[in-house]
Amino acid sequence: MFNYYLRLARISILKHWGLSLLMILAIGLGIGATMTTVTVNYLMSANPIPHKSEQLYYVQLDSWDVNDPFDEGQNPPDQLTYTDSTNLMKAKKAFRQNVQAQAYAVIEPNDPEILPMIVNARANSADFFAMFDVPFIYGNAWSNQADDNKELVVVLNKETNEKIFGGKNSVGESIRIDGNVFQVVGVIDHWQPKPRFYDITTGAFNETEEIFVPFNLIAEEKVRRSGNTNCWKPSGDGFEAFLASECIWTQFWVELKTEQDKDDYLNFLNAYVEEQKQYGRFLRPIDNRLSTVTQWLENQEVVADDARMMMTMSFMFLVVCLLNTVGLLLAKFLGKAPEIGLRQALGASKSTLFFQYIIEAGCIGIAGGLLGLFFAFWGLIGIETLYGDYMQNLATLDFNMMLLAIAISFFATIIAGIYPTWRACKVQPSHQLKSQ
């Protein structure tokens, strides 16, 4: 019987090809628009490190101006001072901890044929790599001792390793960075979490860095800072004064395994701030935060307002398309009144007929869904082109999304078809069968 209904559906859809095409096109457009914006939103709010996101915490302390809150009082500052990061690192109260800042440097390759190049760098702690599960292809991270001893070590990314060393295992090789000789200790594989959750202050979807060096080298002026800097009061002359100032430019992540560990760490932070108050710092009320990756991303509103607005509009667009479908299905099915009357006379019950026409609606829904996927595919390419590097590599339809598209289309069309089908099957056979 099911195959019979499929065949009848096919015949009917083909016979009224204009109407069917209109319906499928409308549904396809609605689904295409919706899936494009849903995918963008889904990917922007996806958890970039799901197996660990709830154990990694971003630290915020409110060291800001007592007269003028940082974020209109909503949030404490989004970075820490050098003083505070260094103190927290020294205290070693977490399972793993990482202080970091964005930087840049000039590499002078040994090979005089290769021109000096400027690379994006991250100055961070040894724990960075283990905390964020950074994949290595050669060597590994430097040790905590290397951090403390301010050793000139560097981890390269795959592309930089290709450019300078031709892609070979360069562990142990020397490399000249900003006039100093560094030693390569590791090379990481292609790694691009989306969003780049570990530092969203300069751009949530920026590319990961080309080289990684120990954080302390910034204070040694061996690499140059390039991240955001915010100061609420003047810092005094010179770099030393800057390091000791209330300017915030560092980020601090900790890894805490259990809920208890988190509570303990928060207590530690509170105690630390209390202690600092004695030195005349932290004049604001205590507002220390530990945010998991997901909390932090949400707090920083990584999903752009634009993306959300377009998703809302897409859903409304889809509703219009479905209303359209209800209308057209109504037109189509009511037009079948004579056939419905006849089938009833020949022995079909109302529920049998309902089933037959719901299947027809379902077929249209699946066709619309497939067309919608096609539109969504091009829609995402269009989005990438229009938005440029901001969205680079962000927009792909994964299998789940595709299934979702077909499912939404199928069920939405069936729901759209319920009223028309019910109306059509209510027809009195006797009225349809007389030609007068």
Partner 1 sequence: MIEIGLIVRALLRNKIGALLIALQIALTMTIMVNAIFMIQDRQSQMQRDSGLDEANTFYLTNTVFGKDYNLQAEMQTDLNIIRKTPGVIDAIQINAIPLSGGGWSMALQHEPGDDKDTIGSALYMVDDHAINTLGVELIAGSNFAPEDIEWRASGQSTWPSKTIITKAFAEQLYPDNWETALGKTFYISQNQPMQVIGIMKTLQAPWNGWGGVERSMLVPFQMESQSSYYFIRTESGRRDELMPIIEKTLAERNKERIIRRVTTLEETRKRSYRRHNATNKILTTVVITLTLITGFGIVGLAIFSINRRTKQIGTRRAIGATQWQIMRYFLVENFLISCVGVVIGIAGAIALNMWLVKTFNLTPIGFELIVFGAVALFIVGQLAVLYPAKKAALIPPATATRTV
Partner 2 sequence: MLVMNNINKTFQTGNIQTHALNNFNLTVNEGDFVSVTGPSGSGKTTFLNIAGLLETYTSGEFTLDGKDVGQLNDNGRSRMRNEKIGFVFQGFNLIPDLNLFDNVDVPLRYRGFDAKERRRRIEENLERVGLASRMKHLPSQLSGGQQQRVAIARALATEPRFLLADEPTGNLDSQMAQGVMTLLEEINQQGTTIIMVTHDLELAMRASRTIQVKDGRVSELDVVAEKVSA
For partner 2, the closer of residues 164 and 425 by Cβ is 425
| 237 binds partner 1, rule: CB under 8 A | yes
| 73 binds partner 1, rule: CB under 8 A | no
For the record, the structure tokens of 214 come out as 């120990």
Of 404, 399, 395, 352, nearest in space to 377 by CA:
395
Site string for partner 2, 349-368 (x = CB under 8 A): xxxx----------------
Of these, 73, 116, 135, 172, which contacts partner 1 (CB under 8 A)?
116
Contacts of 155 (CB under 8 A, 6+ apart): 129, 139, 141, 142, 184, 185, 186, 187, 188, 211, 212, 213
Other beta carbons less than 10 A from residue 143's beta carbon: 13
Give, as ranges, the residues between 324 and 343 that touch partner 2 (CB under 8 A): 338-339, 342-343
Smallest gap from Cβ 306 to partner 1, in A, equals: 5
For partner 1, the closer of residues 52 and 423 by Cβ is 423
Burial profile 110-131: b = 16 or more Cβ within 10 angstroms, e = fewer: eeeeeeeeebbbbbbbbbbbeb
For partner 1, the closer of residues 141 and 405 by Cβ is 405
The three-state DSSP-derived secondary structure of 173-213 is: CEEEECCEEEEEEEEECCCCCCCCCCCCCCCCCCCCCCEEE
- C-alpha–C-alpha distance, residues 13 and 340, integer Å: 16
- C-alpha–C-alpha distance, residues 84 and 125, integer Å: 15
- C-alpha–C-alpha distance, residues 139 and 235, integer Å: 40
For partner 2, the closer of residues 173 and 339 by Cβ is 339
- C-alpha–C-alpha distance, residues 101 and 125, integer Å: 10
323 binds, among partner 2, partner 1, none (CB under 5 to 8 A by kind): partner 1
Smallest gap from Cβ 386 to partner 1, in A, equals: 3
| 46 binds partner 2, rule: CB under 8 A | no
Give, as ranges, the residues between 417 and 436 that touch partner 2 (CB under 8 A): 428-430, 433-435
The DSSP bridge partners found for residue 225 are 103
For partner 1, the closer of residues 33 and 397 by Cβ is 33
| 201 binds partner 2, rule: CB under 8 A | no
Of 206, 419, 218, nearest in space to 333 by CA:
419
Burial profile 381-392: b = 16 or more Cβ within 10 angstroms, e = fewer: eebbeebeeebe
For partner 1, the closer of residues 49 and 117 by Cβ is 117
Site string for partner 1, 320-339 (x = CB under 8 A): xx-xx-xxx-xxx-xx----
| 241 binds partner 1, rule: CB under 8 A | yes
| 233 binds partner 1, rule: CB under 8 A | yes
Burial of 276 (0-12, 13-18, 19+ CB in 10 A): middle
Of these, 166, 179, 347, 388, which contacts partner 2 (CB under 8 A)?
347
26 binds, among partner 2, partner 1, none (CB under 5 to 8 A by kind): partner 1
**One-letter amino acid identity for 411?**
F
Helix, strand, coil percent content, the chain, rounded in steps of 5:
50, 15, 35
| 6 binds partner 2, rule: CB under 8 A | no
Smallest gap from Cβ 428 to partner 2, in A, equals: 8
Of these, 130, 243, 330, 348, which contacts partner 2 (CB under 8 A)?
348
Residues in the chain: 436
| 383 binds partner 1, rule: CB under 8 A | yes
Of these, 234, 286, 392, 433, which contacts partner 1 (CB under 8 A)?
234
Site string for partner 2, 289-328 (x = CB under 8 A): ----------------------------------------
CA angle 31/396/378 to nearest 5° reads: 50
Smallest gap from Cβ 22 to partner 2, in A, equals: 19
| 381 binds partner 1, rule: CB under 8 A | no
For partner 1, the closer of residues 138 and 357 by Cβ is 357
Residue 265 in 3-state DSSP? helix
348 binds, among partner 2, partner 1, none (CB under 5 to 8 A by kind): partner 2
Residues in contact with partner 1 by the rule CB under 8 A: 19, 22, 26, 29, 33, 67-68, 106, 108, 115-118, 178-179, 224, 233-239, 241-242, 304-306, 308-310, 312-314, 316-317, 319-321, 323-324, 326-328, 330-332, 334-335, 382-383, 386-388, 390, 419, 423, 435-436
Residues in contact with partner 2 by the rule CB under 8 A: 1, 4, 11-12, 15, 338-339, 342-352, 428-430, 433-435
